[in-house]
């Protein structure tokens, strides 16, 4: 125990912010006058802190075994300093454990289980999410294209960035897989004139978007369906497809089927935008280390699985989709998450009331503690490169060498990035 306490004191001394720690027996360590204070009621949580298992410390905070006082930014600065290794680059997973992980992935990603996972997270409370998301409730990485952008402006910039990359044109058939609260779906319909279909497994999101479609008079041109991507059947393929913040829920074992399904739903020559979180390490098949992956799985995204972008590209290629452009927006997601975290921190009383009213005192308090740690912890992870965010634009080649803007293009993609960044008014004029 003495060695453990010495190790803990050494870690506290290296923290860039002062920490006061009170152990179960009353012993106090660290800076007694610090703004960041941790009161431990559980000895195993003390061991986790000393070992740098910050995800397990987070779990103890959620469960009420550690009391926290201080800001999320202070806590994350301290947590990063106490890590013993890079969470994205832990030891390679043994072959037999990879087999077990794949079997677990297959079991976790049936249609019934995926519906349960999505509803666990996204149906927590629309009112709660509305407290800290932008007015469109865009729950994915924003694009801070210019200095001084607000969160709402950066989210609209992201929506437009995706629509530009996809070269959306009036009358095209557009599919949004995992359409959330409808931000991209409605933006594409209202600003680019597409015939838009969205799908989701969240009952709350489905009901919300249905109301927006009716309020905006978009019936007949925009539709939202409550179903799994695996069972979507359409009379003709889509011209363009977007999947934003969805493929993280697919699972390693289902990834080949996922991209094969996208290939089936996309017309030859059409474009796919796959926007999603990717792993920072090549070999962390078991998820982020230091207990962080386990925390996310337990409290936030059950069934969520990340893969390195190189693996995602392999699965795309096997399905017959050609990657034509890839962009990493990793620091943009760090900034997005800090914006969400800061907004939630300013409205904690409202958030607590909403969650307690809907889930009861104990579960509501636990959910709030979990989300405070999740938002700030993910911001930290994106800042450090433990995870990334890639927008991958892909095409389904036609097989016709003479088709396209250039000989051999075989798709709508012009093999020139200029169109993504040109003045939007000029782009619309050229398209009309």
Catalytic residue, from 124, 196, 285, 378: name it: 378
Residue of 31, 54, 88 lying closest to 284 (CA atoms): 88
Pairing of strands 322-328, 266-279: unpaired
Total count of residues recorded for the chain? 432
DSSP states of 318-379? HTTPEEEEEEE-HHHHHHHHHHHHHHHHTTHHHHHHHHHHHH-HHHHHHHHHHHHHHHHHHH
Q: How far apart are CA 156 and CA 190, in angstroms?
A: 13
Q: How far apart are CA 366 and CA 184, in angstroms?
A: 31
Look up residue 49 and give its two tokens. Answer: 């802190």
The sign one gets for the Cα dihedral 168, 171, 172, 173 is: positive
Look up residue 363 and give its two tokens. Answer: 């579960």
Residue of 212, 219, 216, 164 lying closest to 192 (CA atoms): 164
How many CB atoms lie under 10 A from the CB of residue 372?
21
- CA of 72: how far to CAs of 87, 175, 374, in Å? 19, 37, 10
Query: Would you call 378 a catalytic residue per the annotation?
Result: yes
Q: How far apart are CA 105 and CA 292, in angstroms?
A: 18
Look up residue 352 and give its two tokens. Answer: 């607590």
Per-residue buried b or exposed e for 124-149, using 16+ beta carbons within 10 Å of the residue's own CB: bbbebbebbbbebbbbbbbbbeeeeb
Annotated catalytic residues are 378
């Amino acid at each position: 125990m003495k060695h453990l306490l010495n190790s803990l004191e050494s870690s506290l001394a290296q923290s860039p912010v002062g920490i006061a720690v009170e152990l179960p027996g009353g012993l106090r360590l660290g800076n007694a006058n610090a703004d960041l204070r941790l009161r431990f009621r559980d000895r195993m949580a003390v061991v986790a802190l000393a070992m740098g298992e910050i995800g397990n410390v987070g779990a103890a905070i959620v469960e009420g075994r550690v009391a926290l006082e201080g800001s999320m930014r202070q806590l994350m600065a301290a947590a990063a300093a106490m890590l013993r290794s890079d969470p994205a680059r832990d030891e390679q997973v043994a072959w037999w454990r990879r087999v077990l992980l794949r079997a677990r992935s297959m079991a976790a990603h049936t249609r019934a289980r995926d519906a349960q996972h999505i509803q666990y997270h996204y149906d927590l409370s629309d009112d709660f999410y509305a407290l800290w998301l932008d007015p469109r409730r865009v729950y994915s990485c924003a694009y801070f294209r210019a200095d001084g952008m607000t969160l709402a402006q950066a989210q609209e910039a992201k929506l437009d960035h995706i629509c530009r990359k996809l070269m959306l044109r009036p009358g095209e058939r557009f599919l949004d897989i995992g359409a959330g609260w409808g931000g991209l779906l409605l933006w594409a319909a209202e600003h680019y004139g597409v015939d838009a279909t969205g799908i989701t497994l969240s009952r709350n999101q489905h009901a919300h978007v249905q109301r927006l479609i009716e309020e905006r008079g978009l019936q007949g041109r925009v539709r939202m369906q409550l179903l799994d991507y695996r069972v979507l059947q359409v009379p003709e393929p889509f011209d363009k497809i977007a999947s934003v913040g969805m493929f993280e829920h697919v699972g390693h074992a289902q990834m080949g089927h996922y991209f094969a399904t996208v290939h089936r739903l996309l017309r030859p020559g059409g474009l796919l935008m796959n926007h999603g979180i990717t792993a920072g390490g090549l070999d962390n098949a078991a998820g982020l280390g230091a207990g962080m992956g386990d925390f996310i799985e337990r409290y936030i995204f059950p069934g969520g699985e990340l893969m390195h972008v190189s693996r995602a590209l392999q699965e795309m290629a096997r399905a017959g989709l050609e990657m034509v452009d890839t962009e990493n927006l990793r620091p943009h997601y760090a900034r997005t998450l800090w914006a969400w975290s800061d907004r939630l921190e300013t409205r904690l009383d409202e958030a607590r009331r909403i969650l307690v009213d809907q889930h009861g005192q104990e579960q509501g308090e636990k959910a709030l503690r979990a989300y405070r740690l999740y938002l700030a912890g993910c911001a930290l992870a994106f800042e450090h490169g433990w995870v990334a965010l890639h927008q991958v634009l892909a095409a389904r080649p036609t097989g016709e060498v003479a088709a396209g803007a250039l000989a051999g293009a075989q798709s709508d993609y012009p093999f020139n990035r200029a169109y993504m960044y040109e003045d939007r008014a000029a782009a619309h004029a050229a398209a009309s």
